[in-house]
Amino acid sequence: MVHDAQGNRASFASDAAAGAFDHMVEGFLKYRVDTPLRLKSALTLDPEAPMLHAVKAGFAMLAYKSAHVPAAKAALDQARKLGGNGREQMHMSALEAWADGGQDRAIAIWEQIIAEHPRDLLAFRFHHFAAFWMGKAPAMLSAVEGILPHWDGGVPGYGSVLACRAFANEEAGNHLIAENAGREAIRRDPADLWAAHAVAHVLEMQGRRAEGIAWITGLAPHFEGGNNLMHHIFWHQAMFHIERGEHAEVLRLYDQSFRNLDSPVTQMQPDLYIDCQNAASMLFRLERQGVDVGARWEELAEKAEARIGDCLSAFTLPHWMMALCATGRFEAAERMLGALREYAGANAGENPRIVRDAALPACEAILLRAQGQPEAAVAVMRPALGGMYELGGSHAQQDVLEQLFLDCAMAAGQHGDARMLLERVSGRWPTPPERRVGYAAAAKALIPGS
């Protein structure tokens, strides 16, 4: 009977096919750019393995691009025809729910899988991903802490579990546990991008900027062969530099590291949601600091206009709107709002509600701000602040929306709203607002003694 590297019984035709599956899963966990090629090699060895077709569907969904959903459903149809054991059938059910817009249902099925099979790394990692982008940090934490007793350092993939433990605990505010787990994962594998990323988050939340820059630059030689997560880690490095007012270095990192349009990794997926989030949020932050970003918004605006109507990644939508407004594409911005309203009226799945309650108000506020109506922007965004977390994204990523609201409140002279925002941020970040570049001016003006 064939098993995967973690001991789960699997429907593969040979040990060689199971080994190819394990190699592919390792690539997925470690964010290697050749992971799709690893899947292709595994399918060559065993074209009738149901889990390989299920994973093909999962990889299509990971792009958060509506154009990929039909391919995901086709791969799942093929997987169903090939059968599979009970655990594998549950994987298919989770992915079918995701492809149909039922993210909560998918998350629940993955939780059932890891409750019964705590060493199912694929179910665990899909759950970690989906829970994060649904704003469900507590679910991320309970999942990793629940499986941890069933793991030890001798089981392949243990370092990846530690990396997920690091990130889940960071988002929960457990920074000591997060940093220790992340550093241990890096000790085991300095090329573990998710672990490097998790520790960078801790250092950012705690305002340890010099350490953050040293952490990333020290690990960067190990990033060769990584996928777009490399870009996001370099975005974190730029975040440390912007806090220190080192704008030239931020722009260098933008052009050469996290938005290098000539990079083969970027060219593979030029409009990948997280890459465009990185770019738009950094340009927005820089412009708030009075930095001339040149023509960098233009290519993002082109991609934003091409993706009007694609709402799968709710958190990306405000970033698309930033690009449209920064380039004066107000007609396209209005069309985008119309598409969001139409999508938000759908009566299926969780995402339309999140778009209605969180993404749409944020996008409306961005457009109103660009049109010189900060008071109206505050009014439309204020009721949504408490639910913005459902858009997904980390504390560090969500922070750009809080800066947006603060900017509008200050411009409108609505100091009560600005103080409220500063208090919200103070409750989440160990670093006080007067020590953070996006908040310092408002804190000095509104908080006595800052």
pLDDT digits (tens, 9 = 90+) for 250-303: 999 999 999 999 999 999 999 999 999 999 999 999 999 999 999 999 999 999
Please name the amino acid found at residue 267.
Q
The per-residue pLDDT for 448 is 81
Spatial neighbors of 252 by CB under 8 A, at least 6 apart, are none
CATH fold of 1-140, please? 1.25.40
Residue 401 CA to residue 46 CA, distance in Å, equals: 46
* Helix, strand, coil percentages in the chain from 3-state DSSP, rounded to 5: 75, 0, 25
Residue 38 CA to residue 44 CA, distance in Å, equals: 10
The per-residue pLDDT for 432 is 94
1 pLDDT higher than 70: no
Q: Is 245 left (phi over 0), alpha (psi -120 to 50) or beta?
A: left
Burial of 227 (0-12, 13-18, 19+ CB in 10 A): buried
The per-residue pLDDT for 189 is 98
**Is residue 323 a contact partner of residue 304, using CB atoms and an 8 Å limit?**
yes
Residue 401 CA to residue 282 CA, distance in Å, equals: 12
The per-residue pLDDT for 447 is 84
- Please identify which residue in the block is written with the tokens 């932050």: 285
- Please identify which residue in the block is written with the tokens 């899947």: 39
CA angle 413, 387, 283 (to 5 degrees): 60
CATH fold of 285-450, please? 1.25.40
- Please identify which residue in the block is written with the tokens 């003006």: 445
The per-residue pLDDT for 450 is 61
Q: For residue 320, what pLDDT band results from cuts at 50, 70 and 90? A: very high
**Is residue 258 a contact partner of residue 279, using CB atoms and an 8 Å limit?**
yes
pLDDT digits (tens, 9 = 90+) for 236-245: 999 999 999 9
Same fold, 1-140 and 285-450: yes
pLDDT digits (tens, 9 = 90+) for 184-210: 999 999 999 999 999 999 999 999 999
Q: What are the angstrom distances between the C-alpha of 116 and each of 8, 19, 87, 145, 231? A: 11, 23, 9, 15, 35
Q: For residue 159, what pLDDT band results from cuts at 50, 70 and 90? A: very high
449 pLDDT higher than 90: no
Please name the amino acid found at residue 412.
A
**Is residue 281 a contact partner of residue 259, using CB atoms and an 8 Å limit?**
no
Residue 280 CA to residue 288 CA, distance in Å, equals: 12
Direct distance between the N- and C-terminal alpha carbons of the chain, in angstroms, rounded to an integer? 66
Average pLDDT over residues 305-324: 98
> What is the share, in percent, of the chain residues with pLDDT greater than 70?
99
The residue ranges of every structural domain in the chain are: 1-140, 285-450
The per-residue pLDDT for 346 is 80
Average pLDDT over residues 365-385: 98
pTM for the whole thing? 0.97
